[in-house]
């Protein structure tokens, strides 16, 4: 049986350490997560590790996918990061962003949670759709079609985020601060979770071409990392792929193919003029 989950992280070409982390957990309800830490000293690595531990613990304790569980795991990660800052003054700047996906194949859905500028994509029948929105001004401009993907990738403020785990001692409105949602997850579907070390270096057309290749999950992940490094590798690069356990059934003659996935609508603040 083909592998359903694969994760890979790489330091990149310009960084001396890796502040990214990822989570993969198989079983009846596969889970995948990508975390990107920030902060001087060793703060980014510490924040990412704390978030990974919170996600792993929450998924292990839960019986089935639930967005409430995901939100609580993000809140636990935030609390752990804040506590870490209080213990060690050298870690005052640490924080992290994260995206995770939890598959419920029996229900035909994938549930997800997200903060920051890591991303979750759904790839179906040759179409790549971003399910999350970046919590940044540049991401808001791109998602509202005020600027193109290329302009966003080249924008000098593309890495300035306005939400992260560890920014606030207490998150006052978790339902707003932590995006959660769900999307159909059908046979043949493939989920991609990644840090901005990939999407700052590789555009969606190239990502889609790699995912369309039919290679193994490991082969596709390594290809994406290689392209990001070839294009500069300016940041740590993390890629996690989660594939539906069942292949897509070929349509019968005369039956129209299923529609391509549509982006999930998440309310956002108005774009400044």
pTM here is: 0.90
Q: Are 184 and 259 in contact (CB under 8 A)?
A: no
pLDDT higher than threshold 70 for residue 269: no
3 state SS of 184: strand
Structure tokens at 68: 């409430």
Confidence of residue 266 (pLDDT cuts 50, 70, 90): very low
Q: How confident is the model at residue 258 (pLDDT cuts 50, 70, 90)?
A: low
pLDDT, tens digit, for every residue of 58-106?
Answer: 999 998 999 999 999 999 999 999 999 999 999 999 999 999 999 999 9
Do 239 and 8 form a contact (C-beta atoms < 8 A)? yes
Alpha-carbon distance 39 to 41, whole Å? 7
Banded pLDDT at 261 (limits 50, 70, 90): low
Strand partners, 190: 123, 243
Work out the number of other CB atoms within 10 angstroms of the CB of residue 38: 20
Q: Do the beta carbons of residue 67 and residue 107 sit within 8 Å?
A: no
First to last CA, the chain: 52
126-182 pLDDT tens trace: 999 999 999 999 999 999 999 999 999 999 999 899 999 999 999 999 999 999 999
Yes or no: say if 122 and 141 are a contact pair by the CB < 8 Å rule: no
| Helical H segments across 5-148, by residue range | 43-61, 67-87, 137-143
Looking at the DSSP bridge assignments, the partners of residue 128 are 123
Using one digit for the tens of pLDDT, what is the confidence trace for 17-34? 999 999 999 999 999 999
Average confidence (pLDDT) over 200-221: 97
* Fold exhibited by the domain 5-134+161-242: Phosphatase 2c; domain 1 (3.60.40)
Beta bridge partners of 23: 33
In the structure encoding, which two tokens stand for residue 237, read together? 């690069």
Q: Match 């309310």 to its residue by tokens.
A: 267
3-state SS assignment for residue 36: strand
Asked whether 112 and 133 are in contact (CB, 8 A), the reply is no
Report the alpha-carbon distance of residue 151 to residue 141 in Å, rounded: 10
Evaluate if residue 1 carries a pLDDT over 80. Answer: no
């Amino acid at each position: 049986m083909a592998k359903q989950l694969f994760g890979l992280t790489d330091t990149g070409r310009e960084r001396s350490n890796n502040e990214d982390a990822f989570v993969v957990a198989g079983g009846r309800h596969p889970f995948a997560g990508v975390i990107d830490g920030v902060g001087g000293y060793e703060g980014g690595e510490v924040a990412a590790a704390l978030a990974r531990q919170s996600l792993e613990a929450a998924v292990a304790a839960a019986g089935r996918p639930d967005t409430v569980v995901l939100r609580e795991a993000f809140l636990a990660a935030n609390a752990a990061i804040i506590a870490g800052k209080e213990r060690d003054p050298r870690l005052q700047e640490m924080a992290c962003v994260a995206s995770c996906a939890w598959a419920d194949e029996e229900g035909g859905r994938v549930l997800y949670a997200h903060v920051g500028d890591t991303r979750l994509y759904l790839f179906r029948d040759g179409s790549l759709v971003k399910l999350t929105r970046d919590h940044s001004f540049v991401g808001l401009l791109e998602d509202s079609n005020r600027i193109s993907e290329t302009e966003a990738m080249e924008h000098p403020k593309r890495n300035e985020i306005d939400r992260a785990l560890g920014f606030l001692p207490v998150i006052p409105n978790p339902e707003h601060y932590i995006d959660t949602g769900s999307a159909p997850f059908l046979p043949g579907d493939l989920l991609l979770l990644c840090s901005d070390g990939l999407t700052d270096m590789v555009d969606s057309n190239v990502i889609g071409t790699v995912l369309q290749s039919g290679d193994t999950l490991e082969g596709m992940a390594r290809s994406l990392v290689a392209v990001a490094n070839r294009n500069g590798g300016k940041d740590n690069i993390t890629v996690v792929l989660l594939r539906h356990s069942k292949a897509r059934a070929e349509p019968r003659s005369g039956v129209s193919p299923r529609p391509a996935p549509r982006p999930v609508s998440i309310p956002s603040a108005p774009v400044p003029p």
